[in-house]
Structures are given as structure tokens and as C-alpha cells.
């Protein structure tokens, strides 16, 4: 069985922990590989190595455009090995191959985008008075920690690592215990290209290894994607050392469908927004808010569509793969059993056994209707292919429902009336709003992050570079010649 090593200070090492953690293919239930958790001493060694690499003359001498070229080289490498990396992601996460391929291409684009940006991160000058040149300089923050979840391991690693290396930091990635494979592939590539300590990969159980990293006194920034409770722990840990955090904590995002929506596109958008990656997407469109008098016809089409969706192993490349692991499977299937008993499930709601893949974690794409807007099914992130329907009769009611959760990550608005759409967009509390589409083809360039408990800060786009830079003001007085 393959044991996934960590990359610490340029060396491939196993975690010091006794127990082995299985990396399971959710489509088959088979163990793909194993890993061990890093000890506190190993995490400390990684942070020391990162600090020393960051401060080294060798790294300072790497020019900004050279860092950029290196990232662009990685983008080319990823594209050349796209099929191999897609299979790794497909087997590790269980997602259909087409979706894994899209993730691989997105990762290549992140490295390309931030590689291109590396020598365009410009500071500023501010007019003060004659004889003073005032420069605002953007410097790398130093040692950046990246805690990555299991739903989009490659994309989420790529988006923050690319921005952090482009700006000249030393990065430490902690991959999710369930899904280390593509980060390991990335580590193998970086190992031969960067000075030791600039890219390091730590493995292990998040609740054990995570705090070793987040409480470490010598780190300079934490980027975390995951659940709200763990995000709170990360923030508390970071507070001990006044370390800034970028948190992306998921959502319960609405698709708001008005009666005058372009119905074909809306239908397609609503379905894709909740079944992509089996609903295990931070920006999943988990709530359908539909105008009362359009509901019957739209929901009838929706149910029909859900019933034709094919569920199967990632490699069969059907519409939807399995859930990630037994824990998610038990949690969500139990929730759906209760919803069924209460009469809320209008389609789906059952687990599925697929011949030849009996150990896979499959459930039916599910629609829930009739729940109160304050009920858990309408409020909490389920992180599965479960769409909750709520209805509205006025624009204000639609806005109130859209904003009526603790989250605020994404919102979709579907209406041909652009007055309505723009008005709603201006009132919705969400970091990204899509009008008559949902996701706009991935959006490498678009700032992404949440209002309220969906997080702090923005990833993606040019603005994310600011997460990884310190701002320094330098005022220079010069003498006027006699």
C-alpha cells in the first residue's frame, strides 16, 4: 500500500504518528493509499524551514518574473499530465471525471493567472510635499499556512498557493486527511524546482495537526476553507499570535427564480448548482427560492430532471458521484430519513446501492419542499445533493429569504427583467451574485468569499494577492540642490 509522504524542508518524510489513516476511493470504498499525521515537532520543523527559506538570500534573489515563470511552467506541466491528475482527483474525491478534468484545468489556470501577476503587483506613491518621495511597497508576508478541505483539493490548494508564491512567500499546505493525492503530486513537482522550505506539504488529521500549525507563533497568515465551527477554532488559534486569516466557510446559497426567468437556463442552472460534486461545494445552490405562481410548472420539470440524473462511480463519468466518506454518508442519509418521515421529500431521499460498487457512498439527488424557512433543512449547510424549495410572492420577500441564513457566499438571480435582477443583486448579502447564470465558468479572476458566517476576506482574482502581502510605507526625504 502506498504511504503518502510529507514534504518537509526538502525531504520526504512520514508523519510521526502511530496510526495509519486510510485514503479511500468514495466510489468503490477501496483504500487507495495511507498516510500518517505529522507530530508537533514535525510541524515546528516545517515552520522553521519555511522561515529560513523565506529569509534566505537565495529566495530574495529570485526575481518576481522568475517566480511567475515557474508558476506558469507548473500550469503547463499540469496540462500535460491533465488526465493523470484528473484520475487522481476523481478517485480521491469520487467526483465524475469530467468534473475532475475541469478542476485540473482550473488549477492550471490559477497557476497561469497568478504566475502572470507575479511581476505586476505594484505599490503606489503618495504626494506629500516637495522633497519627500512617499512610496507604498507591497512585501510578502512571510510564512503562509494553507488548510485545504476535501471537496476540491486541487483547485483550493492551487488558488491560494499560486497567489502566495507569486507574491514571494514560503507556503505550508495541510491537505485534508481524506484527499492528499493531488497536493502530493504538486509537492513532487515543486520539490525539484524551489529552494527547500518554500513549498511544504503536511498530512494528517485536521483536529490534531491543524492546531500545531494555527497556533504556531512563527507563521504570518492562515488561509482556511472548511466548516464554520472549525473556522472559528482557526480564528481563535490565530488570535493568540495576531495572525491574519482568510476564511472561506461555505454557505446555503439561494437560486432566486422569478416567474419571468429564462426557464430553460434557470432549470439547467439550478440543477447543476446543487448536483455538482454531489452538492459538496461551498457555493452549491442549496436553496431554490421560487416565485409562487411559477412554482408548480418549474418544480414539475425539476423533479423530472432529478429523476433522470445518473448516479455512479467517478470513473463512469455520469452526472453525479458518491459522497466523500462514511461520515458524510451517514450524516446526510440520516437527515434525509427524518425529512422523508416528515413528508418533506418530493423526490430522492434514499441511499443507492450500485452493482459492483456496493461499498460506495451513493445517495439520490433529493428535493425537499414544504419546510419552514427557519427549519434546519432551509438553514444549515447539508453538503450533499439536497435542494430545499421555498416560495415568495414579492421581491422584498425574495430578498428577505435570500438573506435569511447565517451565510452569504453566492446568490443566483434568474429574471429577464434587469431592473428586478439588479435591484435584488444590490440587496442580497453575498460575496458573488450571478444573474441568469450560476458560476460564470469557474471565475478564476473573480473575487470569491463570503458575507456573514461564510467567511472573511476574498480569494481568487487579483484582489487575493493582497492576502499574501504586507503594506509598508516608506517616506524618503531628499535634499534640494543648493
Give the interface with ligand TXE as residue ranges (CB under 6 A).
147, 149-151, 176-177, 206-207, 210-211, 214, 225-227, 230, 233-234, 248-250, 282, 381, 383
8-state DSSP, 204: S
Instruction: Find, among 300, 276, 266, the residue nearest to 369 by Cα.
Output: 300
Do residues 106 and 459 lie in contact, with contact meaning Cβ atoms separated by under 8 Å? no
Instruction: Find, among 349, 460, 369, the residue nearest to 410 by Cα.
Output: 460
Residue number with CB closer to ligand TXE (39 or 134): 39
Instruction: Give the H or E element holding residue 264.
Output: helix 263-275
- What the block records as the C-alpha cell of 271 is 440543477
381 is catalytic: no
282 is catalytic: yes
Q: Which one of the listed residues 89, 90, 105, 282 is annotated catalytic?
A: 282
Least distance (Å) between residue 61 CB and ligand TXE: 33
d(CA 212, CA 227) in angstroms, rounded, equals: 18
Alpha carbon distances (Å) from 32 to 26, 37, 92, 322: 10, 17, 8, 16
Least distance (Å) between residue 432 CB and ligand TXE: 14
Residue number with CB closer to ligand TXE (349 or 450): 450
d(CA 450, CA 250) in angstroms, rounded, equals: 8
Residue number with CB closer to ligand TXE (282 or 428): 282
**In this structure, what are the phi and psi dihedrals at residue 13, rounded to the nearest 5 degrees?**
-135, 155
Do residues 346 and 339 lie in contact, with contact meaning Cβ atoms separated by under 8 Å? no
Q: Which one of the listed residues 89, 105, 248, 381 is annotated catalytic?
A: 248
Residue number with CB closer to ligand TXE (104 or 147): 147
Least distance (Å) between residue 250 CB and ligand TXE: 4
Residue number with CB closer to ligand TXE (176 or 390): 176
Least distance (Å) between residue 475 CB and ligand TXE: 40
- What the block records as the C-alpha cell of 30 is 477501496
Do residues 435 and 269 lie in contact, with contact meaning Cβ atoms separated by under 8 Å? no
d(CA 108, CA 275) in angstroms, rounded, equals: 24
Residue number with CB closer to ligand TXE (86 or 214): 214
Do residues 412 and 288 lie in contact, with contact meaning Cβ atoms separated by under 8 Å? no
Could you give the residue numbers annotated as active site? 248, 282
Amino acid at each position: 500500500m502506498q504511504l503518502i509522504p510529507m514534504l518537509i524542508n526538502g525531504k520526504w518524510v512520514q508523519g510521526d504518528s502511530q496510526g495509519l489513516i486510510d485514503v479511500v476511493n468514495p466510489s468503490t470504498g477501496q483504500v487507495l493509499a495511507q498516510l500518517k499525521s505529522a507530530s508537533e515537532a514535525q510541524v515546528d520543523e516545517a515552520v522553521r524551514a519555511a522561515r529560513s527559506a523565506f529569509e534566505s538570500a537565495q529566495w530574495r534573489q529570485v526575481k518576481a518574473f522568475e517566480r511567475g515563470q515557474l508558476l506558469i511552467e507548473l500550469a503547463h506541466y499540469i496540462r500535460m499530465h491533465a488526465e493523470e491528475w484528473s484520475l487522481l482527483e476523481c478517485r480521491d474525491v469520487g467526483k465524475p471525471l469530467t468534473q475532475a478534468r475541469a478542476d485540473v484545468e482550473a488549477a492550471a489556470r490559477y497557476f497561469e493567472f497568478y504566475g502572470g501577476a507575479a511581476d505586476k503587483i505594484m505599490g503606489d506613491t503618495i504626494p506629500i510635499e516637495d522633497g519627500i518621495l512617499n512610496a507604498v511597497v507591497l512585501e510578502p508576508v512571510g510564512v503562509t499556512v494553507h488548510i485545504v478541505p476535501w471537496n476540491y483539493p486541487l483547485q483550493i490548494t492551487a488558488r491560494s498557493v499560486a497567489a502566495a508564491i507569486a507574491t514571494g512567500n514560503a507556503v505550508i499546505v495541510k491537505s485534508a486527511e481524506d484527499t492528499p493525492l493531488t497536493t502530493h503530486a504538486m509537492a513532487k513537482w515543486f520539490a525539484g524546482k524551489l529552494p527547500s522550505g518554500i513549498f511544504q506539504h503536511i498530512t494528517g488529521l485536521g483536529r490534531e495537526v491543524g492546531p500545531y500549525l494555527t497556533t504556531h507563533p512563527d507563521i504570518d497568515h492562515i488561509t482556511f476553507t472548511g466548516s464554520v465551527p472549525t473556522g472559528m477554532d482557526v480564528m481563535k488559534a490565530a488570535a493568540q499570535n495576531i495572525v491574519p486569516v482568510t476564511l472561506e466557510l461555505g454557505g446555503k446559497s439561494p437560486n432566486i427564480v422569478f416567474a419571468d426567468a429564462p426557464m430553460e437556463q434557470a432549470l439547467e442552472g439550478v440543477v447543476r448548482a446543487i448536483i455538482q460534486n454531489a452538492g459538496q461545494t461551498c457555493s452549491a445552490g442549496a436553496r431554490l427560492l421560487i416565485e409562487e405562481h411559477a412554482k408548480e410548472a418549474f418544480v414539475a420539470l425539476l423533479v423530472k430532471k432529478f429523476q433522470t440524473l445518473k448516479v455512479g462511480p467517478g470513473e463512469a463519468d455520469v452526472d453525479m458521484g458518491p459522497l466523500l466518506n462514511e461520515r458524510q454518508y451517514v450524516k446526510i442519509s440520516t437527515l434525509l430519513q427524518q425529512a422523508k418521515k416528515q413528508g418533506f421529500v418530493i423526490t430522492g431521499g434514499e441511499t443507492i446501492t450500485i452493482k459492483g460498487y456496493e461499498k460506495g457512498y451513493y445517495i439520490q439527488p433529493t428535493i425537499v419542499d414544504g419546510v419552514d424557512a427557519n427549519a434546519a433543512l432551509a438553514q444549515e449547510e447539508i453538503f450533499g445533493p439536497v435542494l430545499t424549495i421555498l416560495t415568495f410572492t414579492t421581491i422584498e420577500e425574495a430578498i428577505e429569504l435570500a438573506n435569511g441564513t447565517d451565510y452569504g457566499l453566492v446568490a443566483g438571480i434568474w429574471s429577464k427583467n434587469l431592473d428586478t435582477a439588479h435591484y435584488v443583486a444590490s440587496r442580497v448579502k453575498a460575496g458573488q451574485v450571478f444573474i441568469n447564470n450560476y458560476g460564470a465558468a469557474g471565475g478564476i479572476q473573480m473575487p470569491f468569499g463570503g458575507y456573514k458566517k461564510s467567511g472573511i476576506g476574498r480569494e481568487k482574482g487579483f484582489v487575493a494577492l493582497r492576502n499574501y502581502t504586507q503594506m509598508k510605507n516608506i517616506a524618503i526625504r531628499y535634499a534640494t540642490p543648493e
